[in-house]
Structure 1
Amino acid sequence: MFYVKKIFTVALLLIAGSLSAQPKTPSVEARFSADSVLIGDQFRLDIEVDKDVMEVVEFPVFDRGHLGGDSTDIEILAEGPVDTLKTDGRRITLKKSYLLTCFEEADYRIGKFPVLYINKNIIDTLWSMDSLRIFVNTLSVDTATQTIHDVKLPLEVPVRFGEYGGYLLTGLLGAALIALVVFLLVKRFRGKRQSGGKRVPAEPPHVTAIRQLEKLHSQKLWQSGKQKAYYTGITDILREYLSTRYPVKALEMTSQEILDRMIRESLPEKSIKRLKDILITADFVKFAKFTPDADQNETVYTDAYYFIEETKAVEVEQPAAEIEPIKTEEKKEDDA
């Protein structure tokens, strides 16, 4: 009999050991932070999952920012991360919170909260032990003791100058500006009528070019080592002069194209030579890093000056009208 009891005890211990060796299924606990709230109040939904370290659980994703189940009026304002609440050996407790609100009065029965469970080849849905339920209430109005008043009309406030002073000042400035523009336009129109619509003749091209040359020469560019700027300025002045003096687009032409075009204009040979020396020297300075001496720098300026003088348009002076003397008839003396 003793041996039978001993064998029975050993069998019970083996069964208990085998049951304890089996992995424990994760448990899910879900609860609201309050049993009832007022409309518009914020409250939390806390989810805790107790599981083995090697087990994997996934929390649901809610569409359109609303809590699932039968309640579509409970809105999700924020979703917290998954945090580790505590660890105990191989057991670990995870927590996740949702910040919620609701604007419809009702008794919301959401049911059990689902969590996806993954372990090796097992994929299952775990549900919380308790169902979720919350009351969303509104404040009641006692019409017996509370008097309901109509909406008050807007208060009448006296008009103050400070409220419209800025608009008035802006209007006066705008009117003054318009008056000034009208005055200038009328003055210009009257000036044209008094002058008979005649325009002041433009300055001749050679006068403009010589003035620009003198201004460039007075800057003393090559004396301060800025020879490239000096030669670029001289060639630009000559190109602009040729563009206004002759029907050529000298600003867009190469040096050789300019020389060929000027030859067809029947310029004097010495003028062609001056222009050729200027353009070739300038090209060497700008593109071949050639450094002329002081005499060459001054020669380029004088050649440009004389080239403009030699090729400028000759103004034909109109001969002054001859004034015939007034003939006075000699007074004949009456014969006595």
Structure 2
Amino acid sequence: MKKILTTIFLIATAVTVLAQVNVEARLDSTEILIGSQAHLQISVTAPKGSTVNFPYYSANQQMAGGLEVVTADREKEEQGNNLEKTVNTYTITAWEARKYDVPAMKVRVNGKEYPTKSIPLTVQSTKVDTTARATPFPPSDVMDNSFSWAEIIPLILLLLLVLGLCIAAVYLRGILRRNKPITIFSKTEKKILPHEKAMQEIEKINRTTGNDQKAYYTSLTNILRQYLEDRFGIMAMEMTSSEIIDRLRAEDSREKLNELREVFQTADLVKFAKHSTLRNEEELYLTNVVQFIQETKLEAQPEAQQSAPQLTAEEQQSRRTRLLLKSGIALLVSSAIGILIYIGISVYDLIV
């Protein structure tokens, strides 16, 4: 009898817990235009402290045929009765006018899967009004080509203005020729090596990011990407993590590539899925990046580069004066050319 009562109690407890878990999915709009955005909200109501795992989609990833995930955000709120509500919002869009089915999602709550229902979404193209008709106008009368002095005098005045602009430009040109140009001598500076530049930036990470994990991993991966560009000549800043690993596969050992892959994957989770890591994990990934840089650094010193020395106040003033004179001459000449073009068009309209 005691075993029967215990079994009944356990079954009732499990049913009560399951009844407290509620998973819902809804769209804020079932019809959008091409390129517009809809918001898919998946809400989970469960006991406080429950582990809730939503499907993960990175930015610009395809959710289903033609549906693209723009962003994904999560928020929580208390519901009372020891319950809390977790909402994951996926911003989605599509670039083809047709009907779609937002797929059913599987949400894990405390290790158990709860499926949602698929939701239809219609994407429409911009409608064009084909019923509007242009209003026809009667043919214009033939006009005489006669012109008056009232039309010619403004053109003559504009010609005089062009002459004045040309005289002013010649005058400024004379001043510019008397103002001798400044000769700037360059000096040689040592060019910093890629690994030295990367290590300098790594030393600044803890001072600039503090406890912000998203900023920390963003800075760490940006430093690594810039080092890969400077060291291996690949466009790492414009490539995805997987593309970088594939590009480096011929350059390095599989063990070091696996370490870099973990760094990039963890950084993507922190930046886009609000994932968090422990302090020792941050230090481990930082150590892996530093070790990779040290093992792949260039030993040879780069060629020195040239840089301009600082100008004196008098030289800077002379340089600004020459720049202003050149700008003034260019403005006067371009204005004169523009006025001449206008005069030519006006004369053509008077004659034709």
User: Which TM bucket (shorter chain)?
Assistant: 0.3 to 0.5
Give 1 or 2 for the bigger CA radius of gyration. Answer: 1
Higher RCO by CA contacts (8 Å cutoff, separation 6 or greater): 2
Q: TM-score, normalised by structure 1?
A: 0.35
Q: TM-score, normalised by structure 2?
A: 0.33
